[in-house]
Amino acid sequence: MAKTDSSPVSLTGHFTGQVWCRHDLSPPHLGSGLGRVLYRAQQPFGWISQQIYGSNLESMLLVRHQLMDDLVRADIENGTTQILEIASGLSGRALRMLEAYPDRDLRYIEADLPQMMAWKRERLTPAQKQDKRLTLCDINILRESGAMSLPSVLAANVDPAKPLLIITEGLVNYFRLPVIHEFWQRLHAELSTFPSSSYLFEIWPRLPVYDESKMLKLGLVAIEMLTRQRVPLHFTGEPEIVEAFEAIGFPQVDVINPDHTEIGRQFGALQKCLFRVVRAST
Ligand SMILES: C[S@@+](CC[C@H](N)C(=O)[O-])C[C@H]1O[C@@H](n2cnc3c(N)ncnc32)[C@H](O)[C@@H]1O
C-alpha cells in the first residue's frame, strides 16, 4: 500500500460517522470509539458556535447528509439503479437506501481508502455482508489508473449500459483545487461514457462570511489541526462553481443553497449555510 493510500482525513470520517449514529442516520454498530471521543471534544465548540453564530458544524452536517439523501432518493425514483459513493467513510446511507428500496434492482458500491473500508467491512452484520446489492471496495481518488483507481473500480463493479450516480460527501475540500479539479476531469471522462450519469457532492466555498467571523476561521483551523493539512475553500460562490463544472464538460450543473430547501428551513437558525450541494449531470 502506497503512503497516499492512507490519510489523516479518515479521522474526520469517524467523527461524521458518530454524528450519523447520534441522529439515527446510521446503525450503532457503525459508530467507533474514536468517533465518540472526537464528537465529545467538539461539543463545547458546537455549543459556543450555536450561541454566537446561530448554527454549528453538527447541524450543517445533518442538513448536508439529509439533503443529499433526498437527492439520492429522487435519482433512484427516476430510475437510477447504480450508485458509487466515493469516500463513503462510516456513512449509513448505502444501508438506508438498500433498506428503503428492497424491490429495486439497486447496486450500491461504497468505496474509500483501504483502512476505512477494512474497518467498515469488519463491522457490517452478516446479513449486510451477504447482501449482493452492496459492494465495498478500496479506492484512492489520487490514483489515475490500476488498482484502486476510479476506472478500475468502475470496470469491476458497474454496468456501462445503465445510468450511474457518483457521490462524494465531505471529500473535495481536503484537496487543493488543482488536485481535486484534475480528479473531476477524470470523473467527467468516465461518466461521459454512460447513457446518463450524475455527480452529486458538496463543496465549501470561500463565502464573504469568513471575513466577518473569527469563530468560523477558528473552526477551519481546528479541522486543519485534526487532519494535519490545509482545508482549502474552493470558489467564491455559486456562479464560479457552475462555471467550473460547465468548463469541465458537464452540460447541466445545479447548485443548491441548503438555506433555500425544506431540510435547511427545518434547522431554522441556519440562514448562513457554509456549503453548497451540487449535482452535475452529463
Ligand atoms: C469527512 S470523511 C466523510 C465520510 C463520509 N462521506 C461521511 O460523510 O460520513 C472523508 C472521507 O474521505 C476519505 N478519503 C480521504 N482521502 C481519500 C482519497 N484519496 N481517496 C478516497 N477517499 C479518501 C477518508 O477516508 C474519509 O472516509
For 31-76, how does the pLDDT look when each residue is reduced to its tens digit (9 = 90+)?
A: 999 999 999 998 988 888 888 777 788 999 999 999 999 999 999 9
Q: Residue 214: what pLDDT?
A: 74
End-to-end CA distance of the chain: 33
Domains defined for the chain, CATH in brackets? 3-281 (3.40.50.150)
Report yes or no: 97 and 106 within 8 Å, Cβ to Cβ.
Answer: yes
Q: Could you tell me the pLDDT band of residue 158, with boundaries at 50, 70 and 90?
A: very high
Of the chain, the percentage scoring pLDDT greater than 70 comes to: 98
Residue pLDDT, tens place only, 77-123? 999 999 999 999 999 999 999 999 998 999 999 999 999 999 999 99
Residue located via cell numbers 483551523: 221
Which residue's CA is minimally distant from atom 26 of ligand 1? 10
Cβ 277 vs Cβ 258: under 8 Å: yes
**Predicted pLDDT at 270:** 52
Quote the mean pLDDT of the chain. 92
Distance from residue 100's CA to the centre of ligand 1 (Å): 24
Please state the atom number of ligand 1 nearest to the C-alpha of residue 169: 6
CB 93 within 8 A of CB 70: no
Name which of 6-10, 183-187, 260-264, 267-271 the model is least confident about.
267-271
Cell readout for 193 is: 461514457
Residue 260 pLDDT > 80: yes
Average pLDDT over residues 13-27: 95
Q: What is the pLDDT of residue 268?
A: 63
**Protein residue whose Cα sits closest to atom 25 of ligand 1:** 10
Q: Tell me if 35 CB under 6 Å of ligand 1.
A: no
Q: Is 30 in the pocket of ligand 1 (CB under 6 A)?
A: no
Ligand 1 atom 27, closest CA: 89
88 CB near ligand 1 (under 6 Å): yes
C-alpha cell, 100: 428503503
pLDDT in the model for residue 10: 80
The grid cell for 165 is 450516480
Q: Is 173 in the pocket of ligand 1 (CB under 6 A)?
A: no
Distance CA 235, CA 195 (A): 30
Q: Which of 86, 106, 93 is nearest to 151 (CA)?
A: 86
Per DSSP, the residues of 15-84 read HHHHHHHHTTSS-GGG--HHHHHHHHHHHHHHHHHHHHHS--HHHHHHHHHHHHHHHHHHHHHTT--EEE
What's residue 9's pLDDT? 75
153 lines ligand 1 (CB under 6 A): no
**Ligand 1 atom at minimum distance from 5 CA:** 19
Query: In the prediction, which pLDDT does 269 show?
Result: 53
Q: How confident is the model at residue 277 (pLDDT cuts 50, 70, 90)?
A: very high
pLDDT band at 3, cuts 50/70/90? low
**Among 25, 93, 171, residue to substitute to test ligand 1 (most atoms within 8 Å of Cβ):** 171
Q: Count Cα atoms within 13 angstroms, Cβ side, for 199.
A: 25
State how far the Cα of 164 lies from the Cα of 226, in Å rounded to an integer.
33
